[in-house]
Structure formats: structure tokens, C-alpha cells
Amino acid sequence: MAAERLVVIGGDAAGMSAASQARRLRGPDEMSIVAFERGHFTSYSACGVPYWVGGDVEGPDALVARTPEEHRDHAIDLRMRTEVTGIDVAGQRVRALDRESGESYWTGFDKLVIATGARPVRPELPGMDAPGVHGVQTLDDGQALLETLERTTGRRAVVVGAGYIGVEMAEAMLKRGYEVTVLNRGAQPMATLDPDMGRLVHEAMDGLGITTVNGASVTRILTGDDGRVSGVATDDATYPADVVVLGIGVEPETGLARAAGLPTGPNGGLLTDLTMRVRGHHNIWAGGDCVEVLDLVAGRTRHIALGTHANKHGQVIGSNVGGGYGTFPGVVGTAVSKVCDLEIGRTGLREKDAAAVGLRYVTATIESTGRAGYYPGARAMTVKMIAEYRTGRLLGVQIVGREGAAKRVDVAAVALTAGMTVEAMTALDLGYAPPFSPVWDPVLVAARKAVAVVRAAGSA
């Protein structure tokens, strides 16, 4: 019997994890694996780009978990700088374009993995393509930005967007010695938080010397006589800029899949079953930033571009493709980030997410510290907890603080997965010692307050 042929589209986390895991389960005699990557890198940490730009990390090599050569050593026929331009589902073949040679060809598959990732949202605004305007989605993007910074003598940076990429890039540019202005369309930075928690981020960014302008709708990128970027205009004002970084977020890269008739969801991502198999297609899997994932708290799919999910998807796909078994049950929406020493963590639903799916809820917000109050370095931490009205089921947690704040949401992430009530959470046996926590961990303090609020609301 001829070897089964696996084709993988996309050479980053999801695609190459899938290829590697399939290879572990099936040797080259049983399965041939061809992977296509249109860029210059494989298996890299796009999440590391802000730290590379900020000078904390040497790049780009340090951000590559596995090079093309290492993949080839595992008998994966990896074709770099080669873009898949078409999928013929019925004919079980894909069309590839070698971007170096310009040659195009069809190649067949028995099984197909789509891991085409996400692309940065680039609003159609005048001047968007001017030199000095940069996205930071890929290692190639990071390299291009760093080359621009080397040539830029001015010291004014404008970051468009105040989500996690935006705030991380604000820190990076600050570290590079730039005067940083963040233009934020929303009412507060970090729209993944409720506005009351986003306000704390705003205040902290102010304290760090980062100017954040909320409610700023960018209308055009201004350019100078040399054609380079010179500023950013909003409805209300103009912000001079020597370099502009776009951190507006991403959307699933599914043009190819949609053209092939594969099903996408309300957020534009491919729809899969729990084994990451594309719905209705027995021999096609998809994972990473191009799919929608089930939000276990909201009970509907969302699009979340995050390396940790992409890696899990790749593992699951590789197991299933290789004849094993694995499922990806879904997410609860955990994310952590930082701006200098400010830490931000969130998991589960925001108030508006809860309302959007018809959940009635209560909230409780407390202030505590990450260490015992008397222990050196104890810093304030604000925890907001959202619980379902009456049942008291945990719906979400947001934390803003300093050291030890962000990863504390992991406790809530597990509690959400387990469907715990805030009352059950008050009894959680969390680690206590003065250097690590007050005697009541901040998450427990929030849970206790949430219990009281649930009780008061239920009897009202």
C-alpha cells in the first residue's frame, strides 16, 4: 500500500505541531507529509515580536522553536516561501505557488490540515501603505519594523490600537527611547477588559509615561514630502509620528478556505468539530488562528488568535491525523499581558459578553495585594469577578496589578472549566505564604465578596 499523503498549509504553530505529532505517530513509510509556508520562518513565536522590538529578546532566531531544517530532519517535506493559492476539495489537491521561482503546481492529498493563521486588520485609510507604517503579526513584520527603526532619527511613535498587541508595542517603543502615543478607538485601553478595569490600565500607562488617547478614530496616515509617514490624523486631532505601529488586532485568514467552500462561522473563522476536523469534511482539519473556538462559558464560538491555542490544536490534529485520538474541548478566554511592570489578566466573560448571551449577572470588585501586606514589595491588585445571578456560577475574572497579578487568573480559568460557583471558590485551597499571597488570596477575597453580592441580589 502506498503511503498516505498529508498536506499542511501554514508553517507556524498549529500547522507544524500537527505535522510533527503526525510524524511521531506515523513513520515516513506510512505517511508522507508536505508542508507549505509562504514566509521565511517556521514554528515561531509571533507573541515574542514586541519583546524583540523592545530589545529584551534577541531575534529572530531566538523566537523560532523549530527551524525548517529541523522539520526536514523529521522527514517533513517543508516548502518555504511557497503559498497555497487554491484548494480543490473534491479533487483532493492544492495549488502551490513558489514565490521565489514564480512556478505554480498542483499537489494531491489524502488528508489536509489548514493552518493559515490570521492577518492584521488594516483599515482602508489613506497613507496606510506609507513607509514607516508597520504591523507586527509575523517575524517578517518584526524584522521590517526593526529595519525602519534603525533608519529613523525622529523619536515620536504612534501605536494604533490599545489591545494586548498595542500595549505591548507601546512598552517596546518606550524601551527603544520613543515618545509613545497610543490611539485607542474605545473608551479605555484593553477592550478585552470591562471599561472600569481598562481605566486602571489607562492610569498605569499614564504613570509609565505613555500617552493614551481614548475615543480616537484614525481617519488617515499623514506623509511628508519624502513619502514617509509623518503623523496620524483622527476625527479630532493630528499626532506627529516618525513611526506608526498597527496593533489593531487580527482576523482569521480564511480566503482560501472560503473559496474552497469550507464552512466559516460568524467571526470569520473555520468551523470544526471537537477533533478539529472541518465540519462536514472527513479528511480536512483546521487549527490555530484561522478557526473559531468554542467558548465554554458563553456557549458559542469565538475567534481568539493565541499561540497557546494554536499549539494545542496542532497536537490534537496531529494525533487524529496520525490515527490517534484527541479533542480540543474549547476555551474559557484566558489572556495575560503586561506593560512594563503592570500586569493584566482576564478569563471568561466580560459584562457585555454575559449580557450578549442572555446571562444575568452580578459583579464584585476588590482591592488586595499580591503578597502579605507587610511583606516587602506588596503592591495593589484589583480583582473583578462576574458571577451568574442566583446560581452564583463564576462567569469571569479580570485582574490588574503588579507582580503576581496576571497569572492569578489561571485559578479562575480552572474554576470556569469546572463550572464552579463563587461560593465553592471561597473554599479553594490556594497556596499561602507571606511572599506569595495575603492569608486570603485576592481571588478568594473577590469570591467572598461575590458570594455576598449574589446573595443580596437573589433576595432583592
Q: Which positions are catalytic?
A: 47
What is each CA distance from 327 to 255, 286, 292, 424, in whole angstroms? 26, 13, 15, 28
Choose between 366 and 409: whose C-beta lies nearer to its own copies: 409
The residue with cell 473559531 is 292
Q: Supply the minimum distance, in Å, between the C-beta of residue 372 and its own copies.
A: 6
Decide: helix, strand or coil at residue 15.
helix
- 50 or 135: CB nearest its own copies: 50
Instruction: Enter the C-alpha cell of residue 450.
Output: 461575590
In whole angstroms, the minimum distance from the beta carbon of 455 to its own copies comes to: 10
Closest CA to 244 of 143, 342, 129: 129
Q: Which is nearer to its own copies, 127 or 287 (CB)?
A: 287
CB of 383 or CB of 411, closer to its own copies: 411
- Considering Cα of 384, then 388, then 392, then 394, what sign does the dihedral take? negative
Residue 245's H or E segment, with its range, is strand 243-246
Task: Give 49 or 182: the residue with its C-beta nearer to its own copies.
Answer: 49
Measured between alpha carbons, how far is 100 from 94 in angstroms, rounded to an integer? 18
Write the CB contacts of 429 (distance below 8 Å, at least 6 apart in sequence).
none
- Do the beta carbons of residue 216 and residue 185 sit within 8 Å? yes
CA distances from 443 to 34, 419, 446, 456 (A): 47, 16, 5, 20
* Of residues 131 and 324, the one with the C-beta less far from its own copies: 324
Cβ of 97: how many Cβ atoms within 10 Å? 18
Residue number with CB closer to its own copies (75 or 418): 418
N- to C-terminal Cα separation, the chain: 71
Q: Which residue has the cell 473577590?
A: 446
Rounded to whole angstroms, the Cα distance separating 59 from 196 reads: 36
User: CA-to-CA distance for 290 and 314, rounded, in angstroms?
Assistant: 12
Q: Output the smallest distance, CB 113 to its own copies, in A.
A: 19
Q: Residue 431: what residue type? A: G
- Could you tell me the smallest distance in angstroms from the CB atom of residue 422 to its own copies? 13
Give the C-alpha distances (Å, rounded to integers) separating 170 from 179, 242, 381: 9, 14, 22
| Residue 451 Cβ vs its own copies, minimum distance, rounded to whole Å | 10
Point out which residues bind its own copies (CB under 8 A).
13, 45, 47-48, 51, 56-58, 62-63, 65, 164, 306-309, 311-312, 315, 327-329, 331-338, 345, 347, 372, 374-376, 404, 406-411, 413-415, 417-418, 420, 424, 426-437, 439-441, 448
Q: Beta 335-339 vs 156-160: how paired, if at all?
A: unpaired
Tell the smallest beta-carbon distance from residue 406 to its own copies (Å). Answer: 6
CB of 230 to its own copies, least distance (A): 33
- To its own copies, the closest distance from the beta carbon of 190 in angstroms equals 13
350-356-358 Cα angle (round to 5): 110
Nearer to its own copies, 231 or 322 (CB): 322
Q: Which residues contact 274 (CB under 8 A, 6 or more apart)?
A: 294, 327, 328, 329
Of the pair 181, 192, the CB lying nearest its own copies is at 192
Could you tell me the smallest distance in angstroms from the CB atom of residue 204 to its own copies?
16
Residue 194 gets which letter from DSSP? -
Give burial (CB, 10 Å; 0-12/13-18/19+) of 91.
exposed
Report in angstroms the alpha-carbon separations of 361 from 386, 387, 395, 424. 7, 5, 8, 17
Report phi then psi at 34, rounded to 5. -115, 130
